[in-house]
Homo-oligomer: A and B are copies of this chain.
Amino acid sequence: MRIDVKEAAEFLRENNDYLILMHASPDGDTLGCGTALCGALQRLGKNAKAVCPDEIPHKFDYLFNACTEQDFEPKTVVCVDVADTKLLGDMKEVGDTAKLCIDHHVSNIDYAERTLLEAESAAACEIVFDIINELGVRFDAALASSIYTGVATDTGCFKFSNTTPRTHKIAAEMIELGADFVNINYEMFDMKTPGRIELEQAAMKTIRYSANGHIAVIYAPFSMINSIEGIDSDDIGALASMPRKIQGVDIGICVKEKKKGEYKASIRTSQRIDCSKIAQKFGGGGHERSSGCSFYEGTIEEAADRVVAESEEALRKAGII
């Protein structure tokens, strides 16, 4: 059943003992939603806890200032920013009993009893912001920092095309109410570990261009990833966006070998190319500007060559080459 913000707030007011589930490989939006909603419910005198199937990177520790740890028997499962219970890892079965899901993914499979879906929201935190207002809970600095984190991270700090006037208006209000935005933005967008810098440099050294500079490819083979200390999956994931940032590049490709012999190609494109179609040719998928696909045979160069060939075809179809 699809419901609106008023109905979601009503449901949350009527029930108690909330278990709020955040998706695996957690990002700032799911964690911002979970901690803000948990904190808001606690301020209403409810029992609530926000949990994630995966370990939460330390850079997000501050989000848990928004809520306190409570010991109680959960009764009501709520999922935030979770389009499909497959994204809940070990907690999939708990997610299948969800009474409420709050989400902004158009791909949401309606697994919960009630779903509040606003696909035009840049971040699920925008919806949680509305719910907290509807619940009549006043924002303090900690709640504001959680909501700010979700809207900032899901929009690449207000850069991506999903950013709307409403995103900025919510950011304005959260800053007004004390969101610690300077430190949040430094931690989320600017800070890099020495390992991350070493990895970026090693990967960028592998760059090769094709189609007159419209395509750029970088590699991160197993040997490279394995030889650099102190890097995590976030660091490896961040390589994906690097080649597309080079002037003149319409299609940026990064091929990573996280496990020996298993390659993942990440594709990023300019507004002139829909890269989900390129990924689909290899059984992958994603969004128009950001997609990915996997390869389980051959060498890392061969995997890259196949994606490059398909990318050249896409450039030809678009009349760019």
| Contact stretch, chosen from A74-82, A127-135, A155-163 | A155-163
| Residue from B159, B173, B247 within 8 A of A185 (CB atoms) | B159
A192 contacts which chain B residues (CB < 8 A)? 245-247
Kindly state the separation between the CA atoms of A166 and B169 in the bound complex, as whole angstroms.
9
Binary flags per residue of A284-313, CB closer than 8 Å to B gives 1, else 0 = 000000000000000000000000000000
- For window 230-248 of A, CB contacts with B under 8 Å fall at 245-247
- Tell whether A223 is near chain B: CB-to-CB under 8 Å: no
A302 to chain B, nearest CB (A): 25
Q: A165-B173, A166-B172 known; A193 and B159 CB under 8 Å?
A: no
Q: Within the complex, which residue of B157, B169, B185, B246 is in contact with A193, where a contact is CB–CB below 8 Å?
A: B246
- C-beta contact mask, A150-178 vs B, less than 8 Å → 1, else 0? 00000001111101111111011101100
Please, how many angstroms separate the alpha-carbon atoms of A173 and B164 in the complex? Answer: 10
A193 touching B158, Cβ below 8 Å:
no
* Chain B residue contacts of A206, Cβ below 8 A: none
Residue of B nearest to A169 (CB): B172
A247 / chain B contacts, CB cutoff of 8 Å: 191-194
Query: Does any Cβ of B come within 8 Å of A62's Cβ?
Result: no
CB of A1 closer than 8 Å to a CB of B:
no
Cβ–Cβ < 8 Å partners of A161 in chain B = 182
Q: Given A194-B246, A197-B204 in contact, is the A165-B159 Cβ separation under 8 Å?
A: no
Q: CA separation between A103 and B186, bound complex, in Å?
A: 27
Copies in the complex: 2
- Nearest 7 pairs of A and B residues by beta carbon: A168-B172, A165-B172, A159-B185, A168-B168, A165-B176, A161-B182, A193-B247
CB contact list, A103-160 vs B, under 8 A: 157-160
From B167, B175, B246, A163 is in contact (CB under 8 Å) with B175
Query: Cα distance A171–B185 when bound, in Å?
Result: 18
Q: Nearest chain-B residue to A244 (Cβ)?
A: B190
Apart from the given pairs A159-B186, A168-B171, A190-B245, 6 other A-B contacts in the complex at a CB distance below 8 Å = A158-B181, A159-B189, A165-B172, A193-B246, A193-B247, A201-B201
How many angstroms from the CA of A113 to the CA of B194 in the assembled complex?
A: 51
Q: Is A212's CB within 8 Å of the partner chain B? A: no
Tell me the complex Cα distance, A192–B245, Å.
Answer: 6
Contacts of A175 in B (CB 8 A): 163-165, 168
- Nearest-CB distance from A170 to chain B (Å)? 9
Alpha-carbon distance A181/B171, docked complex (angstroms): 16
* A247 CA to B191 CA, complexed, in Å: 6
Q: In the complex, which residues of chain B have a beta carbon less than 8 angstroms from the beta carbon of A246?
A: 191-194, 197
Quick check: B157 and A157 within 8 Å, CB to CB?
A: yes
Within 8 Å of chain B (Cβ to Cβ): is A227? no
Chain B residues with Cβ below 8 Å from A271 are: 182-183
Q: Which residue of B lies closest to A176 (CB)?
A: B165
Give the complex CA separation of A246 and B187 in angstroms. 10
A–B pairs, 9, beta carbons within 8 Å = A158-B158, A159-B182, A163-B175, A164-B175, A165-B173, A166-B172, A183-B271, A190-B245, A193-B246
A25 to B205: give the CA distance in the assembly, Å: 32
